[in-house]
Structure 1
Amino acid sequence: MRARAAIAMLLLVGAAIVGAAIAVPGIGRMPAAKAEETAEPAAETAKPADATERAEVPMQKAVPGAGLTQAAENEYLVLYFDNDSGGIAVKDKATGAVFRSNPPDALEDPKASDETKQELMSQVSLVYHVNGKEGDAAMNSYAQAMKAEQIEWGKLERGMRIRLTMGREEQRMLLPRQMTAASFERDILERIGDERRKRQTQAFYIRYSRDDLKGANGKELLAKYPILEQEDIYVLKSSVTDRDKRVLESYVKETGYTYEMMEEEYAKIGYEGDDAVFPFFKMTIDYELDGRALAVSLNAGEIEYDRETFSLVSLSLLNYFGAGRTGEDGYILLPDGSGTLIRFNNDGRKTTLLTAGKLYGPDYGLAQNPRGSIRQEFRAPVFGIKRGDSALLAVIEEGAAAAEINGVMGDINHSWNTAYATFTIRNKDWFIAENAFEQAPWILYEKNAFEGRIAMRYFFLAEEEADYVGMAKTYRQYLVDAGALRPVEAGEGTPFYLDTIGAVDTMVRKLGLPVNSKAAVTSFAEAGRMIERLTELGVRHIKLRYTGWYNGGYDHTAPYKLKVERSLGGERGLRRLAELAESVGAQLFPDADFVYVSENRAFDGFSPKRDAIRNLFQKTAYRVRLNPASLEYEGYEWVIDPGKMPDYFRRFSAAYDGLGLDAISLSTLGEGLHANYKNNNRVNRPQAERFAASVLAAAAEKYGSVMADYGNAYIYPYADHILRLPDTDSSYAIADEQVPFLQIALSGYVRYAGEPLNLASELRPAVLRAIEYGSGVYFKLNGGDGSLLKDAKLSAEFQGSPFDDWAETAADVYAEIAGALGEARGRTIENHERLAEGVYRTTFGNGRAVIVNYSDQAYLADGIRVEPLDYAVVGP
């Protein structure tokens, strides 16, 4: 049993014992052992399974003007409570650098409006929805908690707890709408000592007596106020403004009148009440020092609010923690693709205020998906801010599947550059009917809200560590300490990843009639020939991923059963291929898809109506195949309900084990997370992550090696190989430089490669990028009849290239990359730096460095010359 798999299984067993999901730092939450059993979610009022009991601690109010009060200290850091914002500050004892949750002079920011200043001074911002009404509303902790004196804090053993209430904690105004005359005069008027206030209060009420029942409106009055038959009453005038109501409420509160008294009065006179209900959100945030880091957590399910009237939509935490002022030297790091740097907007040229990305790819359960398929996704739950000689790295430990990471530019509507996370508590989607004219969209909100734990960890870096390389190395060590990464075994050389496709649909004629049939693009025998030929050409460490080999080939049925395609050579042919691969030192990775289904047949264990995800409008959701060249759709696939994936894997692997294979590819599990909004079987994105992780954990336990694609962070504990790991960013206009953050973080622990080199728009720059990023060699090649791919309407992105046209080139590329990386392969990347425009140097753990020149000019420095579109190796 591999070390990571062993750790995962122990954690799963522990979860089964306690009957609840548990957290594994840095990789989200691990599912319980019986995750495949999908249960109906509990009512929203129930306490979430992962909510933790909080011990009571003595609390005290913030004291505006008192500045910072020390709350905790350890060997490295000092934690303070900020009495002026209700936030925190952390001091790095080694350097004296102070990181504040809010800019210290935000209220004097000349660029900020009053509303923006309140945002700058807040630690929590949220969006909520009034049930049954259109539109959303927002709150922030400074305007609705700090200024209302509704923030208190207390010391913990290693930190502090802050409890805040945003909005009115009282659900209704303490201002009676109706009272009997006796009660009004006794309990309110007589207790108002100031005569002017007493007259003012009485003037805002109308007194009705039993004599009024004798008038023309008597019947109407009695119907409206039945109590008039017994007693006179006072009724608050409907013309009273909200401002006057707040003044009157203050008078009533001074008398000692209570909500209990008001409720008793209402019950006595039979008034059911139409008082406006005020939004309020009460939450508790813990801040704890842990070595060189600050851990921040809150339970979304423990946030108190009126759930019958309001829905919490999203919550942002510590939006300006460590923010850099415009004019300072610095940048923000976002996990866009491999990583991107956005330098502070010191010259004011950047006009885009916000850049955001949802973690872990698209959610095809949402009809309105904001990210296009050609852009890179945010794969790692991290972001960073560098300011001068210090930096901050944030890691989302729990709740990442519900998170969006934001980068904000200064010098636009305020002076600060920052990055932060927003957590979607309740997704929403909208729809506008076709041919609708000036019709408002139909908007629906997710019923299965995220009510788990939100946990973040902030690392504080200084001097030579305070850059994107230091951030990546810190994240790597964090994952290692969490047991999510294990070192690549010594002696493993540069891998050559060969991706090939098996069977596709094609049209043949039988008895003169066109019939849809399965045909082999690359049979098992042809795949074996490819491996042998590459071995003859000097390629070593071949990892063959084989797609489209079971249940119909490329357009396959659900993995409920397993039937090896006869057109490829059947089970016997697959076993021979595995034996051949082993004999030449190669490894076979058959790919199984537990996310998408492209074909549906009778008795195949899959029903789109029952087993596919649905969107919020209860329509079956799909993933479409987009041709990136023509931007035309080439087909669609159903998305499997995440709750069904563990059971599918159990059934599939039982048959797969009979093939005697010790490796598997689960490519699509690292691509995206898709919620199921089906009314009687809801699964939100964090739950989908747990189901995906449970399949990966089971695969890592059963098989010696696991491969996946794209690199969503929850696959790190289980995947030995990651293909299509992003090696570019999205090239946003606001971004300044793409960096290999992911590659630095994973180097030496996970073997990876970017996009297939033969599908790159230009081969030479792609080869140089593989050298610079320490990547494996990846080609997508097919050994059979390529015309079948055209008949199957598969674009180049899906079909690959003819093997015979590329074999020698692929071998040459492998020799070049393997020679350049040498023994550095399998070692960590220790430094990455830009030497000049288009020139970069990567330094590996054994001291070897490679200098890569993408420019059209030769680079010369320190006696080293690197020609255009070339590289040089320095060191051992």
Structure 2
Amino acid sequence: MNTLLKKIIISVLAVALVAFLVIGIPLKNTKYTYATTQSFTKDGFVESMELSNTEKLVAENGKYQLFIDETTSYITLVDKVSGTKWQSNPTIEDPTEPIIAAKNKQKATLEYSYYNDAGSITSVNNYTLSIYHPASVTTPEGQRTFAIKYIESENAVQVLYTMKNLEISFLYFPKYLSEAQLAEFESRDANRLKSLAYTKYEEKDMNGDGQFTDDEKFYFIEKYDSSMTLLLKRNLYEILYTKYGYTLDRVAEENALHEIFDEEERVEFQMAVQIKLLDSGIEAKILRESIVEVGAHLAEVSLYPLFGTAIAIDEENKPTEGYLVVPDGAGAVIEFNNTKTSQNAYRKRLYGTDLSLMPFSMPEEQQKINIPVYGMVKKNVGGFAAIITEGDAMAYINADISGRIDAYNKIYTSFQLRETESVVLGTGYNRYGVTLWTKDIVKSDFAVNYTFLKGNENSYVGIANVYRNYLINNLGMEQKDNTTKTVLTAEFIGAFDKQSFFLGVPYSTLDSLTTFEQAKEIIEKLQDRNVTHLNVSYLGVSNGGLSNLMFDRNEVADVLGGKSGLDSLNTYLNDLDIDLYQHANFVTTTKYRGFVDSFRYNSMRVRGSSAMYFVYHVPSKLPSSEFDKENILDQYVLNPLLYEAMYKNFTKQSNVSGLALDFVGSSLASHYDYNKTLYKQDALNLQKNLLEIMNEEILLSNPLGFALPYASFVNDLPTETTLYALIDYQIPLLQLVLSGLVDYTSESINLTSNRSTQYQFLKVLETGSNLKYTLSYESSQKLLNTKHNQYMSTHYVNWLDQIENQIEIVDSLKLHEGVLVNHERLQNNVYKVTYSNGLEIMINYNQYAVTVGTHHVTGMNYVVIGGAN
């Protein structure tokens, strides 16, 4: 018996051990509750057809009056001091006589697209479907299908749009009319029916007796489909409905006798927009709880596509001067009427690519949109800054100039309500594409706050200041930039994986470019050169080095010095008052430890497959896993519900007081589980929740707007914009927002290969940035035959002189003793920047010298035109 018991115990332990190896100790998903949206009720709405006030005062405060036209739902905001009017729709008639679609867009307050059950997409607006219906068989021209409700306690008005086609279809009429039925009509009406529509004749043996009575002799409509003309429908309706009392139910019954069971496909949507008066302007919001879908699935909605638009030629027959501001990369300006109508209009999704929906072919290289703000500046009139405050992760920014489809320069927001993915099925000649879309609309309202600018604030600097104030007053961002000297971020490369061989058998092992002791040596060399204001960002410290595993633990690489070596480095840097940030990645992993982890932990695409973070092979434009099976750089994308559990496990084994977060705060990864979809907006909320509970100092790389209040230091801010042809020039919009709030750097000067180091240094002066260098103690040639040869210029001995020289220059200018307060474009590729301490610098990015006023500056150089106080 004892022997049997021992065998049972051993067997159970063996099974438990195997189960542990296969399953491991599972991580626990965060309990996530979807964001609360504003409640909505249809109570209190009054149909627009019962209203007639074209200048109804909705609300008023010390600065503004908000009006609505009850017959069109158009809104007008009036500045009580200047008299300037900001309107949801243009009032100056378009002199170019654009096509009907463009005219209708000018009169619409919403544009939207939807998918039918077959997957086809249709794009329309709400002018002829809600605001002003054309004449139909049953309704007169000008019928309105929207309702209005005033909420005085909120200084707001809600407009509930019912968007549908009021025209009747061919299914309003029976396909067949028997001779017996026609005999009941007046002969004049029967003859009209037979001449207008029921032109074909057929006999059917309905009773199966071989005889044909008058009930079995039929006149019928040959083309019984959607091609039926409006005139024909009017005539048939007049006879059958108005005169003889037909109904839809009767038509359905008669058609059923002939085995015609087609039902009318009606597409109808309801959606409420709330406009609220604020001290700074207005808030326009689409209320998620008001959306009703009938017969189709909404894909996207654009809110006030022509709000505040600027016409090309004003009422005095003069060109309208001004520009549009987009937050692409560092920021960019599109000038009014720039004649680039052969170029594509600007349209871009906020916050970059969803890591769970990365394309299977490499897209063009471009900057992302980090902050949810854009604007319009009308010179000598006024401007506005628009902040997307809700639904920002689902938003696009659209901008276009006059002359393409109409005479207006415009900028506005669109919101993606659900995500889609195209899939190709079949092979060879039988291949066909289908579009898959998520089941439910994202759980979020969609809001844009418009703040209006005038005077000296009417510029892109003023737009930056509006968002800066929003970060402070609404998101709780505190000033953390207390430095007056240039801060160097020294990013060290630690452990990396490489392939080695034993008796001809390949295996993976870890090697090092910078051990913890070597890192101390680099710091000493920098200190010897009077580079004392710095922090350290350490790549590849733990969990597999540069090709990281899941960060559910903190296994410090032995080749670097192990945990004791990291503790020693941390103590050493603390004594020098230098912050140490260990890189941690809670978003992707190269591989899983357990056999079933990929099923438990991986995020899903809309199509149901595992989401992957692709690193593309540039020549082939394919993911590395498709091109080179031995050097795969692609990583698995983790379910965002795991972030919190991984972080808590990781920090149990960490003594470092600072974390440099990879992806968190800078990229979003969704999870398209059919039963509980997590959209980009939900991923944003989950990352925000994670940042809330972090106790460490946080270094963020190229962060998104929502994460900025949590950053102790910011790396890798873009200094350029995406070079779309429509854009006229780039601006440091992002840096104008952050200067003085938090220390930030540009990208590593020694890693960027498409620009010279001189160009990048000029960008530091223009944007008020600190310096960042990626360094290794040993030569980066060690990476030649590895997956990490993007780090091929990091050997620290090559950069010490340049680091010392650049820091001396910036500190001698006293650049960081002030805050970036102004930026001007003087001429092409020539800019002037002004700092709060009086420092003024003119920067010339041209290859040739330029003279502006009395100031002469050589090519790719700068000149100080006003020294710091």
Using structure 1 for the length normalisation, give the TM-score. 0.83
Does the 8 A contact of 1:70 with 1:78 survive in 2? yes
1:453 aligns with 2:445: yes
1:543 aligns to 2:543 (yes or no): no
Decide whether the 8 Å contact of 1:708 with 1:719 is kept in 2. yes
Give 1:145 shift: 1.1
Matched to 2:796, the amino acid is F
Alignment partner for residue 276 of structure 1, among 241, 248, 264? 264
Tell me the equivalent position of 1:499: 491
Q: In the alignment, which residue of structure 1 is the partner of 2:139?
A: none
Deviation at 1:132, TM superposition (A): 2.7
After superposition, residues 552-563 of structure 1 pair within 5 angstroms as 552-563=544-555
**Does the CA-based 8 Å contact 1:833-1:841 persist in structure 2?**
yes
Query: How do residues 320-399 of structure 1 correspond to structure 2 at under 5 angstroms?
Result: 320-326=306-312, 327-346=319-338, 348-366=339-357, 368=359, 372=363, 374-389=365-380, 390-399=382-391
Q: Is contact 2:333–2:730 with CA below 8 Å preserved after alignment?
A: yes
Residues 732 and 178 (structure 1 numbering): CA distance in 2 closer, same or farther, change over 3 Å? closer
The answer to which of 356-365 and 583-592 deviates more is: 356-365
* Gap regions ≥5 residues in structure 1: 1-33, 42-47, 223-227
**Equivalent pair of 2:355/2:637 in contact (CA under 8 Å):** no
Residue equivalent to 1:22: none
Aligned to 2:613: 623
Tell me whether 1:790 sits opposite 2:808 in the alignment. no
d(CA) in 1 for partners of 2:300, 2:554 = 42
* Correspondence for 1:100 among 83, 87, 109: 87
Deviation of 1:551 (Å): 1.0
Partner Cα separation in structure 1 for residue 678 and residue 652 of structure 2: 29
Aligned-partner residue type, residue 145 of structure 1: S
Aligned partner of 1:818 among 798, 801, 811: 811
SS state of the match for residue 833, structure 1?
strand
Give the aligned partner of residue 130 of structure 1: 116
Counterpart residue number, 1:150:
145
**Residue 114 (structure 1) aligns with:** 100
CA distance in structure 2 between the partners assigned to 1:159 and 1:207 by the alignment:
59
Q: 2:568, 2:238 → 1: CA distance?
A: 85
Secondary structure (helix, strand or coil) at the match of 1:592 reads strand
- Report the Cα offset of residue 239 of structure 1: 3.7
Q: Structure 2, unaligned stretches of length 5 or more?
A: 1-27, 134-143, 313-318, 625-630
**Cα deviation digits, residues 345-400 of structure 1 (max 9, x gap):** 25x34312412111111124335479836211122112212222211221111111
- CA drift at 1:765: 1.6
Q: Which moved more, 1:239-248 or 1:636-645?
A: 239-248
In structure 2, what is the equivalent of residue 768 of structure 1? 762
**Aligned mates of 2:581, 2:244 — CA distance in 1:** 75
Shift of 1:636: 3.1
Per-residue deviation, residues 119-148 of structure 1 (Å, max 9, x unmatched):
121110111111135x21122111211122
1:840-864 Cα distance to aligned partner (Å, 9 max, x none): 2222234433333334555666766
**Corresponding residue number in structure 2 for 1:3:** none
Distance 1:173 1:482, change over 3 A: farther
CA displacement, residues 228-261 of structure 1 (integer Å, 9 cap, x when unaligned): 99xx999998747253346545777768979897
Query: What letter is aligned with 2:610?
Result: T
Deviation at 1:730, TM superposition (A): 0.9
Distance 2:552 2:168 in 1: 51
**Which one of 696, 701, 712 corresponds to residue 709 of structure 1?**
701
The one-letter code of the counterpart of 1:728 is: E
Q: Indicate which of 157, 160, 164 corresponds to 1:163.
A: 160
Amino acid at match of 2:809: E
1:527 and 1:580 mapped to 2: Cα distance? 10
Percent identical residues: 22
Q: Is the 2:776–2:794 contact (alpha carbons within 8 Å) kept by the matching residues of 1?
A: yes
Matched position secondary structure for 1:376? coil
Q: Tell me whether 1:79 sits opposite 2:99 in the alignment.
A: no
Q: Partner of 1:28 in structure 2?
A: none
Deviates more, 1:122-131 or 1:84-93: 84-93
Distance 1:645 1:470 in 2: 40
- Residue 690 in structure 1 maps to residue 685 in structure 2: yes
> In the alignment, does 2:839 pair up with 1:851?
no
**What residue in structure 1 maps to residue 455 of structure 2?**
463
Structure 2 match to 1:315: 301
Q: Is the 8 A contact 1:367 1:615 kept in 2?
A: no
Deviates more, 1:252-261 or 1:444-453: 252-261
* Aligned counterpart, 2:274: 286
Distance 1:55 1:83, change over 3 A: closer
1:638 alignment counterpart = 635
Equivalent residue number for residue 17 of structure 1:
none
SS at match of 1:559: coil
- The question of whether the paired residues in 1 share the 8 Å contact of 2:29 and 2:645 is answered with no
Q: Quick check: 58-67 or 581-590, which moved more?
A: 58-67
> Which residue of 2 is the match for residue 677 of structure 1?
672
Question: What TM-score comes out, normalization by structure 2 length?
Answer: 0.84
Q: Structure 1 residue 434: deviation in Å?
A: 9.1
CA contact (8 A) 2:813 2:839 kept: no
574-583 or 165-174, larger mean C-alpha shift: 165-174
**Once the 2 structures are TM-superposed, how far is the Cα of residue 94 of structure 1 from its aligned partner?**
2.4
CA contact (8 A) 1:51 1:453 kept: yes
CA shift for structure 1 position 156: 2.6
- On the 8 A contact 2:29/2:641 being kept in 1, the answer is no
Contact between 2:762 and 2:843, CA under 8 Å: does it hold in 1?
yes
- Contact 1:139 1:166 survives alignment (8 Å): no
Q: SS of the residue aligned with 2:105?
A: helix
The structure-2 alpha-carbon separation of the partners of 1:344 and 1:179, relative to structure 1 and needing over 3 Å to count, comes to: same
Conserved 8 A contact 2:497-2:509: yes
Q: Does 1:664 align with 2:659?
A: yes
Amino acid in the other structure paired with 1:739: I
- CA spacing shift, 1:262–1:722, aligned 2, 3 Å: farther
What is aligned with 1:21?
Answer: none
The CA RMSD measured in Å over matched residues stands at: 3.9
Q: 1:497, 1:778 within 8 Å by CA — same for their partners in 2?
A: yes
Where 1:752 maps in the other structure, the secondary structure is coil
Contact 1:116 1:414 in 2 (8 A): yes
- Shift of residue 573 of structure 1? 0.7
Taking the aligned partners of 2:856 and 2:637, their CA distance within structure 1 comes to 54
Alpha-carbon distance, 1:511 to partner: 5.2
Residues 642 and 683 in structure 1, CA contact (< 8 A), matched pair in contact too: no
Q: Which moved more, 1:506-515 or 1:166-175?
A: 166-175
Structure 2 residue aligned with 1:225: none
The partner residue of 1:429 within 392, 398, 421 is: 421
* Aligned-residue offset at 1:437: 4.6
Assess if the C-alpha contact under 8 Å between 1:169 and 1:280 holds in 2: no
Question: Could you tell me how far apart the structure 1 residues matched to 2:383 and 2:704 are?
Answer: 24
- Contact 1:171-1:278 within 8 A present in 2 as well: no
- 2:788 partner amino acid: L
User: CA offsets per residue over residues 127-183 of structure 1, 9 Å max, x none?
Assistant: 1111135x21122111211122113323332132112111147998993759999xx
> What CA deviation, in whole Å up to 9, does each residue of 1:431-462 have, x standing for no partner?
34697458442322223432421111111111
Shift in alpha-carbon separation, 1:196–1:410, aligned structure 2, 3 A: farther
Matched, 1:875 2:854: no
**Aligned residues of 1:645 and 1:695 also touching (Cα < 8 A):** no
- Which secondary structure state, in structure 2, belongs to the residue aligned with residue 650 of structure 1? helix
Q: Do 1:622 and 1:636's aligned partners in 2 also have CA atoms closer than 8 Å?
A: no
Comparing 250-259 and 316-325, the one that deviates more: 250-259
In 2, the alpha carbon distance for the partners of 1:563 and 1:692 equals: 24
Deviation per residue, 1:632-683 (Å, 9 max, x gap): 746333343343333xx43443442443322111131233223323445532
Tell me the residue number matched to 1:23: none
Q: Aligned partners of 1:319, 1:655: CA distance in 2, in Å?
A: 46
* C-alpha distance in 2 between matches for 1:855 and 1:55: 60
- Distance across 1 between alignment mates of 2:362 and 2:386: 23
Contact 2:344-2:726 at 8 Å conserved across structures: no
The answer for the alignment partner of 1:534 in structure 2 is 526
